[in-house]
Structure 1
Amino acid sequence: MRASTVARLQGVFNIVGGLWPLVHMRSFESVLGPKTDRWLVYTVAGLMVSIGGSQLSAASQETTARHARFVGAGAASTFAAIDVIYVMRRRISRMYLLDALMEAGWLAAWAVSARRSIR
């Protein structure tokens, strides 16, 4: 898969995931559990939308897709680590493990695109 394709797909994923709590916190909390620090949820949501927008912008040219790969892999690594660590500590719902699996999928897709760009 090309880096620009992964950037577009992950960009949309991050924008949709970031908009969800901003648009409808009640459904977000019904799936992922109640939040005591909503300001933090809103902060992360805004960052996800920004990251997604950056990825969509970078995907428009193959030369900037490397930037999207760096942003995408960094975001996926961070989100997956936080998901796993805080589920294990029982601070957040086990539903976050589904997100960790998605983030691992993004890391795999970025690895494939990196190998493809070397050829």
Structure 2
Amino acid sequence: MSRTRAAELADTVTVAHGAFNVVGGLWPLLHLRSFEWVFGPKADDWLQRTTGGLLLSAGLAQLAAAADPQGRPQARRIGLGTALTLLAIDLVYVPKGRIRPTYLLDAAMQTGWIAAWLRPTPGGSTGKARD
């Protein structure tokens, strides 16, 4: 795989994960009822909206970083931080019964994003775009 191909893959992950976070963040902001139908009602609507706003911000930052090759490392840090945090919440609170088992679908997605960001690239590095 050439460095150009590696850069294309990094761009794809950056844009895809950014878009995923934008959609995930907008959902509870635009239609809380359908969000709660899938993931369960919560006691604090403001907390769902806050989390949605933070996900939206992370996604927009990733999408903005995708426009600049120098922005890829920042997009990667945002992506890994977001995915690791959401995965940890899913894996801690589903078994405790605090959140619905449907959050395990989110855990699977977050695991996929982590794997995409950590994938090996030519030269033996783990996903850090340096080109």
Q: TM-score, normalised by structure 1?
A: 0.93
Identity of matched residues, %: 49
Q: Is 1:83 matched with 2:94?
A: no
**Matched letter for residue 97 of structure 1:** L
Counterpart contact for 1:8–1:56, Cα < 8 Å: yes
Aligned to 1:10: 17
**Matched letter for residue 102 of structure 2:** M
Aligned to 2:3: none
Unmatched segments (≥5 aa) in structure 2: 1-5
- Deviation, structure 1 residue 5: 1.4
Counterpart contact for 1:6–1:109, Cα < 8 Å: yes
Count of matched residue pairs? 119
Q: TM-score, normalised by structure 2?
A: 0.85
The superposition leaves residues 43-80 of structure 1 with CA deviations (integer Å, 9 ceiling, x where unpaired) of 00000000000000001122210110011001000000
1:1-119 equivalent positions in 2, closer than 5 A: 2-112=9-119, 115=126, 117=129
Counterpart contact for 1:4–1:61, Cα < 8 Å: no
Relative contact order (C-alpha < 8 Å, sep 6+): which is higher? 1
- Deviation, structure 1 residue 118: 6.9
Q: What secondary structure is seen at the aligned counterpart in 1 of 2:62?
A: helix
- Deviation, structure 1 residue 7: 1.0
- What is the RMSD computed on CA atoms of the aligned residues? 1.7
Higher radius of gyration, 1 or 2: 2
Unmatched segments (≥5 aa) in structure 1: none
Q: What secondary structure is seen at the aligned counterpart in 2 of 1:115?
A: coil
